[in-house]
């Protein structure tokens, strides 16, 4: 890279080399870089904070200027903070600030505002690129008078870097959002880790592409690449810490939560709108008392799972369950005891079935389970396992009920053996459930156990 090679040679010739002095200079310059990052963080967060009054214009204009300035600095100015390690304030401080602020806008204001921000940044840089190209045409005129030493070659090189950087930035902001959503699923409660990992991954990819395109023929290619990755990673983590602290210190005003909210609800205000939507959607699909899926979810998913089974030529089973003598439990031991039984049944269902199964509360003391890719025998075994788990939980909970009083009866319907439509599967499972009730309760009834003479406790 000719620019900083010449500068390094100049300094080496103009003053003697002192390791301690160089170490002091390195510490001083690194401290100055972090001070710049801190100052920019405060400035950009202030612009972000007043967006409800002034919109995103101040932030957009500032970040647009950052993109042009960081490209110029990345092409011309580097600091040798360690021997052979060159860092540009533009790419390390300004670029990572742009990336993190775009992610902040996405987290707090969702994708539409983030898209508006990046469109503004790109528009500013495309306009600057076109103007720079047009101005460069003046340099070939015999009428040109240079008031300072301006190289037309530098303008063209800087324009090329600006175009590359702008194109990469468009890809970067999309990638950082995708990665943030990915890491959210892996680390739903680790806000700082999600932001930091997203930024580190993006700056590593961006730096590799930018350096490969811009400095592929430089003898210092590996040093430039290493310095870029290390520098952007350090400042990306620094910005991630500041932004995560900001998100926790300044929650969304209209999403204030009570002090006794659960930990999962307390982090609600630092989720993106998309994540909030998914969380609320999940809550709407679940029965609030037990946490099981509700009847609507069962009704919506049974046709979907049946179509999948038909397409793949797999089996599917529907299991309907009803707690035995539940009204008598409520009447004799109180509704609190009944609620405890419902909760223990829900816990037993969550612990007894596979991850692919769909346990639901069908209504009152009735429950339903969709078992994809399961034979009738495996559905029967799962129901028996549920009975054992429910018995164990009731004994461990020390309910004020006689031992063995909490039982259930279940009916199983299978595709394709019994029916090939959702309504028919539910109807047949319900018939078998009540056949089991009539036969004495506390049993699992499938096609093989339908004859009344052969019904016996499962």
- 106 in a domain, yes or no? yes
Q: Let me know whether 16 and 92 are in one domain.
A: yes
CATH number of the domain where residue 449 is located: 3.30.70.270
What secondary structure letter does DSSP report for 254?
G
Is 70's pLDDT higher than 90? no
Identify the band that residue 189 occupies on the pLDDT scale cut at 50, 70 and 90: confident
Q: What is the pLDDT of residue 60?
A: 83
Q: Let me know whether 246 and 293 are in one domain.
A: no
Is 289's pLDDT higher than 50? yes
Q: Let me know whether 159 and 66 are in one domain.
A: yes
- pLDDT tens, 356-376? 899 999 988 999 999 998 889
Across residues 317-336, what is the average pLDDT?
90
Identify the band that residue 254 occupies on the pLDDT scale cut at 50, 70 and 90: very low
- 282 in a domain, yes or no? no
Across residues 291-309, what is the average pLDDT?
90
Identify the band that residue 201 occupies on the pLDDT scale cut at 50, 70 and 90: very high
**Average pLDDT in the chain:** 79
Q: What is the pLDDT of residue 299?
A: 92
- 276 in a domain, yes or no? no
Q: Let me know whether 174 and 242 are in one domain.
A: yes
Distance CA 177, CA 274 (A): 11
Distance CA 291, CA 386 (A): 17
Lowest mean pLDDT across 88-102, 164-178, 311-325: 164-178
Q: Let me know whether 296 and 220 are in one domain.
A: no
- 319 in a domain, yes or no? yes
Q: Let me know whether 170 and 297 are in one domain.
A: no
* Domain encompassing residue 222: 2-138+151-250
Q: Let me know whether 216 and 306 are in one domain.
A: no
Tokens read off for 97: 């600030």
Q: What is the pLDDT of residue 169?
A: 76
Lowest mean pLDDT across 22-26, 120-124, 447-451: 447-451
- pLDDT tens, 27-61? 888 899 999 999 999 999 999 888 878 888 888 88
Strand 444-445 and strand 408-415: the pairing is parallel
Distance CA 77, CA 70 (A): 10
* Domain stops at, among 250, 270, 304: 250
Give the length of the chain.
458
Q: Let me know whether 395 and 304 are in one domain.
A: yes
> What is the b/e burial string over 59-79, where b = at least 16 CB atoms within 10 angstroms of the residue's CB?
bbebbbebbbebbbbbbbebb
Q: Let me know whether 436 and 323 are in one domain.
A: yes
**Is the CB of residue 378 less than 8 Å from the CB of residue 284?**
no
- 271 in a domain, yes or no? no
Q: What one-character-per-residue DSSP string does 87-144 give? A: E-HIIIIIIHHHHHHHHHHHHHHHHHHHHHHHHHHHHHHHHHHHHHHHHHHGGG-TT-
Identify the band that residue 402 occupies on the pLDDT scale cut at 50, 70 and 90: confident
Q: Let me know whether 445 and 307 are in one domain.
A: yes
* 453 against 145, higher pLDDT: 145
Identify the band that residue 277 occupies on the pLDDT scale cut at 50, 70 and 90: low
Q: Under 8 Å CB-to-CB from 217, ≥6 apart: which residues?
A: none
- 122 in a domain, yes or no? yes
Q: How far apart are the first and last CA of the chain?
A: 79
Q: Let me know whether 246 and 358 are in one domain.
A: no
- 267 in a domain, yes or no? no
Helices 96-137 + 19-49 axis angle, to 10: 90
* Domain stops at, among 231, 250, 269: 250
Q: What one-character-per-residue DSSP string does 426-457 give? A: HHHHHHHHHHHHHTTSS-EE-GGG-SGGG---
Highest mean pLDDT among 100-109, 227-236, 448-457: 227-236
- 264 in a domain, yes or no? no
Q: Let me know whether 333 and 216 are in one domain.
A: no
Q: How many domains does the chain have?
A: 2
* Domain stops at, among 228, 250, 272: 250
């Amino acid at each position: 890279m000719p620019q900083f090679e010449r500068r390094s040679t100049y300094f080496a010739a103009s003053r003697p080399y002192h390791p301690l002095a160089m170490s002091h200079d390195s510490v001083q310059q690194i401290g100055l870089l972090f001070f710049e990052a801190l100052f920019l963080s405060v400035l950009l967060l202030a612009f972000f904070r007043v967006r409800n009054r002034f919109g995103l214009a101040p932030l957009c204009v500032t970040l647009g200027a950052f993109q042009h300035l960081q490209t110029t600095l990345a092409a011309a100015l580097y600091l040798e903070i360690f021997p052979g390690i060159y860092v540009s304030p533009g790419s390390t401080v300004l670029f990572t600030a742009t990336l993190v602020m775009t992610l902040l806008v996405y987290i707090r204001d969702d994708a539409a505002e983030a898209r508006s921000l990046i469109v503004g940044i790109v528009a500013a840089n495309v306009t600057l690129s076109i103007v720079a190209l047009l101005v460069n045409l003046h340099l070939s005129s015999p009428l040109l008078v240079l008031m300072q030493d301006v190289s037309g070659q530098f303008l063209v090189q800087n324009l090329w870097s600006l175009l590359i950087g702008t194109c990469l930035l468009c890809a970067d902001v999309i990638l950082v959002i995708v990665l943030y959503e990915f890491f959210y699923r892996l680390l739903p409660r680790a806000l700082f880790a999600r932001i930091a990992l997203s930024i580190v991954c993006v700056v590593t990819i961006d730096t590799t592409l930018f350096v490969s395109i811009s400095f592929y023929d430089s003898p210092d290619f590996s040093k430039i690449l290493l310095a870029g990755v290390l520098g952007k990673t350090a400042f990306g983590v620094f910005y991630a810490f500041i932004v995560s602290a900001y998100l926790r210190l300044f929650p969304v005003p209209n999403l204030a939560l009570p002090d006794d909210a659960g930990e999962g609800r307390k982090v609600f205000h630092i989720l993106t709108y998309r994540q909030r939507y998914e969380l609320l959607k999940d809550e709407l699909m679940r029965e609030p008392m037990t946490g099981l899926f509700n009847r609507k979810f069962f009704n919506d998913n049974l046709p979907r799972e049946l179509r999948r089974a038909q397409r793949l030529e797999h089996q599917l089973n529907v299991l309907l369950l009803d707690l035995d003598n539940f009204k008598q439990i409520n009447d004799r031991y109180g509704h609190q005891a009944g609620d405890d039984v419902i909760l223990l049944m829900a816990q037993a269902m969550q612990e007894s079935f596979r991850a692919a199964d769909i346990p639901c509360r069908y209504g009152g003391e009735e429950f339903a389970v969709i078992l994809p890719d399961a034979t009738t025998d495996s559905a029967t075994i799962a129901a028996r396992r549920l009975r054992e788990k429910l018995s164990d939980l009731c004994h461990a909970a020390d309910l004020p009920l006689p031992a063995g009083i909490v039982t259930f009866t279940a009916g199983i319907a299978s595709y394709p053996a019994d029916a090939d439509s959702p309504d028919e599967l539910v109807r047949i499972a319900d018939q078998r459930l009540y056949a089991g009730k009539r036969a004495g309760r506390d049993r699992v009834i499938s096609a093989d156990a339908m004859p009344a003479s052969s019904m016996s406790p499962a």
